[in-house]
Structure 1
């Protein structure tokens, strides 16, 4: 049996991105090269590893192979880290995971800053919910992640992200400097289960209120569109501001509350020097 690293990289990329085309973009290869690498790995193991659907997913055997493939590539990255430490060079590819809101509202600024200061480091962005980001960091799918209110440990705080009320411009409170969440009790309330619902509920608890959502919407763009359509109001974090259209306003709320956005590497494992370098460069961005 002759299994090699390009085969494992291709297999993991298809699983992580959900398709051969996306994996090809991720790896900087042609789609046919990715298909060939995965097919050759399946021939070596004498069984299919992927269900070629949309999205592509691992077979039962593929699921068993995944942790070993991740361990093998993690060992290679560790070797690269030793070499980079020895030469003092910041090079390589860093896979950065973050939530959709952070990806749209904060990550573009980080990428511009890193591209200018660390041109030899390539940053690939993976978007997922908070649980997925933490899992990817834990299992090696991601090399770094922007975590929300992580437990104490190594990391760089990128922002203290305060909460804001999202209202139509013709809402009676739209002209206020600050909105008390208690003044929104008569409005239908919209909530995103995949977003910061637990923190929004805590915000209302501090105000002596309980949230009874009129609608629960997973997608942030849909949530914003529903506020535009006059179907209710919601509370988002400040990092969402770049996504807010001109016919809506995002206003500070009381009680005041905020969440910490922290750039972290994997816990319990050494950070690749490129991740450490990006973390140091992110201070003050």
Structure 2
């Protein structure tokens, strides 16, 4: 039996992406090449590894193979680290995970900076909720991540991200310097369960007012559109500012709270040299603008 790294990489990519087309895009390969790699792995193991449904999912054997595939690919990454350290070359592809809000509001600036400072490193972004991002970083799916309020450890704090009330420009409080959450009690409150709900709950708790959202909206763009339509108001993090259209305003909300956004590599493994280079570059950028 001969199993090779490209086969394992294709199999893992299909499982993580949920389909062959998405995996091909992630790997920068054709869909037929990914299908061929997975099929050849299945032939070597003499059994199917995937249920070809929508989304694609692993078979019972596939579930058993997954941890070994991840271990093998992690070992390959470690070999790449040793080689890169020896050569002193800051090259390669870094898989960066972050939440949707951070991906849209903060990551584009970083990508532009890294493209100028480290043109030989390719950064590919992946979006997930906070728990997914942390899990991807630790299981090797991602090489780096922008974590929200991580425990103490290595990393570069990119921002101390405060919270803001999102209001239409014709709202009675839109001209204020700041908004007390208690003053929004008469407005329908909107929230995204996959966003900053824990922090928003804490703001309400500190103010001594009940947290009773009128609508729960998964997608941030939908949430913003509903505020535009006058359906209600919400609270977003400051990093969301680039996404706010001109007919809405973001105002500091009282009581004030914030979250730390930290660029980090995995806690339990050595960072790939390219990840260290990105972190050092980001730290240099922050020092230059402070």
Q: Give the TM-score taking structure 1 as reference length.
A: 0.97
Tell me what 2:71 maps to: 71
Give the Cα separation in 2 of the matches to 1:48 and 1:175: 62
Unpaired runs of at least 5, structure 2: none
CA deviations on 1:101-120 (whole Å, 9 max, x unpaired) are: 00000011111111111111
2:210 and 2:88 map into 1 onto residues whose CA distance is 54
1:107-256 correspondence runs (5 A): 107-256=107-256
Can you list the C-alpha shifts for 1:14-64, whole angstroms capped at 9, x where unaligned? 112222122112212111111100110111111111122222222222121
Which stretch has the larger CA shift, 49-58 or 131-140? 49-58
- Could you report, residue by residue, the CA deviation over 1:229-282 in whole angstroms, capped at 9, with x for unpaired residues? 211110000111111112211111111111100011111111111111101111
Q: What does residue range 3-42 of structure 1 map to in structure 2 within 5 Å? A: 3-42=3-42
RMSD: 1.0
Q: Partner of 2:195: helix, strand, or coil?
A: coil
> Per the alignment, in what secondary structure is the counterpart of residue 246 of structure 1?
coil
- What's the secondary structure of 2:224's corresponding residue? helix
Instruction: Give, in whole Å, the separation in 2 of the partners of 1:200 and 1:219.
Output: 17
SS of 1:76's equivalent in the other structure is helix
TM-score (norm 2): 0.96
Instruction: Output the CA distance in 2 between the equivalents of 1:19 and 1:117.
Output: 34
- Report the secondary structure of 1:55's partner residue: coil
- Structure 2 distance, partners of 1:107, 1:51, is 34
Structure 2 SS opposite 1:138 = helix
Question: What is the alpha-carbon distance in structure 2 between the residues aligned to residue 64 and residue 123 of structure 1?
Answer: 30
Distance in 2, Cα, partners of 1:56 & 1:90: 35
Count the aligned residue pairs.
285
Q: Runs of at least 4 residues of structure 1 off by over 3 A? A: none
Q: How far off its partner does 1:143 sit?
A: 0.6
Residue in 2 that maps onto 1:47? 47
Q: Name stretches of at least 5 consecutive residues in structure 1 with no aligned partner.
A: none
Q: Distance in 2 between matches of 1:224 and 1:53?
A: 34
